[in-house]
Structure 1
């Protein structure tokens, strides 16, 4: 197994444990990159100023460079360092932090009523519902939410190196259409949502008026929701299907759903790994990394490091001082972590409340093809799946 294969393996956690026993930071000559697998190494790499989110000579992947998806990609705060990272983050992060859980619960309830049976069609519950909730939060009209969710799902194809030419073409089309929608929304100051007004105030405070960068990062917020939150909801469902007693307990005591989702984020992360690119020679954990080196950062492995979380292979709702690397750490820690956890929790609560027929029947799943994401796709028991 390789770390890339591990992301969608049925159970990669024994493999990760073996890597940690070898060394928290090791060089894989066959893959030609460093692998950070324990909590100390992961935290050191994510926090090091010389470990960047993109190679210095390739700010945008060549396959995207000429299209609308590439123009958005190049402006995303999570794909940049320095001012291009800081300015949109300072504008957007406080707006995300200001969103209350009651507001999310209300929006989830409203969106659920507009969808086509999301409690039996788990694809809708995982992908469409979260994106619609965030799109509504930003201020897009209710009649456009499902269209925006579809366009966002098209756009996220540009973020995967596994995407083919047809998928990249749809990503460019989706990115261009989303850019038009958000540009129109930003131009309509009278119709702005509270969230968008908060973002605008942050931009003004930072003396930032880069309209295209703001549009790109609003699209980025939807794209992260589409994948990471979908995986968080899906892996929470996997945990419930695997543990009928846990499912029964939560049906009688739904107040613990937030604890379930938080532990799933640690135990079975929707984002298994990320990468960093060494900008100049540096020493980390006693090893010398050269400029141009690549580091594969195994977030899911760090979550299972017993030095970070005692008894890491046990699923504990009431885990004390839980440490989760799934949302990153350091300057690129995801500013939407609490929002993602809240949306996923409300989605699972809604699913439990409806008690869909799928609860009573066996369910199978396999993971969508990915080098870094762990997102299940569910099938009825009679369909073939692994």
Structure 2
């Protein structure tokens, strides 16, 4: 195991503990990366002004740079610094905070009641469909947009194959067309508010709406999936949560700390700097192990125990500082409503198998049902 393959290992957490014991910020000569494994190091790197989200020489991954997906990527607020990050964020973040959780719950419940949701759709298709519905799309359009978002998301991984990249470019074009048509006749308070803040830059507006959909697609799928795994692995916990659905919220809050869907993120050093006594040079790459930092005992006592009633819970899973995820509350609302509906339908727990989706930074389980078991 190494700090990258750990993301999809069956149990990377003892390994993360060994990395923390070896030093919070150390250089790995084999990977040619700095590894930030402690809470102190993660905080220092994520808040440092000279630690950027993309390398200066490659603001857009080469594999997608010449196509529609690359042009969208280049405008995403989470992949930029300065005004290209602050301006879209100032328009989108406040609007997301004002979404009523009851509206989210109603949208999720409507999809399940229509019979459209199996486990896979609830985990992957459903969350982005909720965002599309909040933006004013019809149920059929929302389902299509979520499927196209899944195609777009595939291009964001270095593991993507040529066929996936081609599909991502096609999906991006379709998403741009659908969103542009919706912007021209906005009948959604959420969309109208976001449009008002970004009306001077329509390309950035469309790109960051795609970004909102794509972040929801992956982050919420990981949160829902790892919450399901926690329930599968601990029958007592499962019985407690199913008997008292009010425990879903603390379950999700603890799972996003205990076993997050995003295990790591990267930062690229833009100028020579010193962090926690280490001298870093321009062009250096830092792998920030968010999942390891979450289990730092200096951040959370008893870090390797899943505690629903954990006091003063702290987590890096949604980021901190200028690139903190603006949709954390919304993601938790969607995951809560989805998990509640899944539990009402009582999955056949003994028939579920799973594997982690191939990834260099994500920990997203994919479930299947063993027929005849």
TM-score by length of 2: 0.98
Cα gap change, 1:274 to 1:125, in 2 (>3 Å): same
Separation in structure 2 between the aligned mates of residue 143 and residue 346 of structure 1, nearest angstrom: 20
Cα gap change, 1:114 to 1:66, in 2 (>3 Å): farther
1:273 has 2:264 as partner: yes
Helix, strand or coil at the partner of 2:279: strand
- More off after superposition, 374-383 vs 88-97: 374-383
1:327 has 2:301 as partner: no
Per-residue deviation, residues 76-118 of structure 1 (Å, max 9, x unmatched) = 00000000001100000000000121111111112223453x3
1:212 has 2:203 as partner: yes
Helix, strand or coil at the partner of 1:365: strand
Residue 192 (structure 1) aligns with = 187
Residue 106 (structure 1) aligns with = 106
Separation in structure 1 between the aligned mates of residue 123 and residue 292 of structure 2, nearest angstrom: 24
Give the CA deviation at 1:379. 2.3
Cα gap change, 1:75 to 1:256, in 2 (>3 Å): same
> Aligned runs of 1:228-247 on 2, under 5 Å?
228-247=219-238
Cα gap change, 1:370 to 1:115, in 2 (>3 Å): farther
Residue 282 (structure 2) aligns with = 291
Residue 127 (structure 1) aligns with = 124
Q: Does the 8 Å CA contact 1:368/1:377 hold for their aligned counterparts?
A: yes
> Aligned runs of 1:33-52 on 2, under 5 Å?
33-52=33-52
Residue 161 (structure 2) aligns with = 164
Residue 82 (structure 1) aligns with = 82
Q: Does the 8 Å CA contact 1:111/1:133 hold for their aligned counterparts?
A: no
Helix, strand or coil at the partner of 1:7: helix
Residue 10 (structure 2) aligns with = 10
The gaps in structure 2 that reach 5 residues or longer are none
The gaps in structure 1 that reach 5 residues or longer are none
Per-residue deviation, residues 324-374 of structure 1 (Å, max 9, x unmatched) = 101110000000011111111111111111223x13x24221100000000
Per-residue deviation, residues 52-84 of structure 1 (Å, max 9, x unmatched) = 000011110111111010010000000000000
1:202 has 2:202 as partner: no
> Aligned runs of 1:355-374 on 2, under 5 Å?
355-356=346-347, 358-359=348-349, 361-374=350-363
Across the aligned residues of Structure 1 and Structure 2, the Cα RMSD in angstroms comes to 1.3
1:343 has 2:334 as partner: yes
Separation in structure 1 between the aligned mates of residue 251 and residue 80 of structure 2, nearest angstrom: 33
Q: Does the 8 Å CA contact 1:105/1:346 hold for their aligned counterparts?
A: yes
**Alignment length, in residue pairs?**
373
Separation in structure 2 between the aligned mates of residue 77 and residue 114 of structure 1, nearest angstrom: 35
Give the CA deviation at 1:164. 0.7
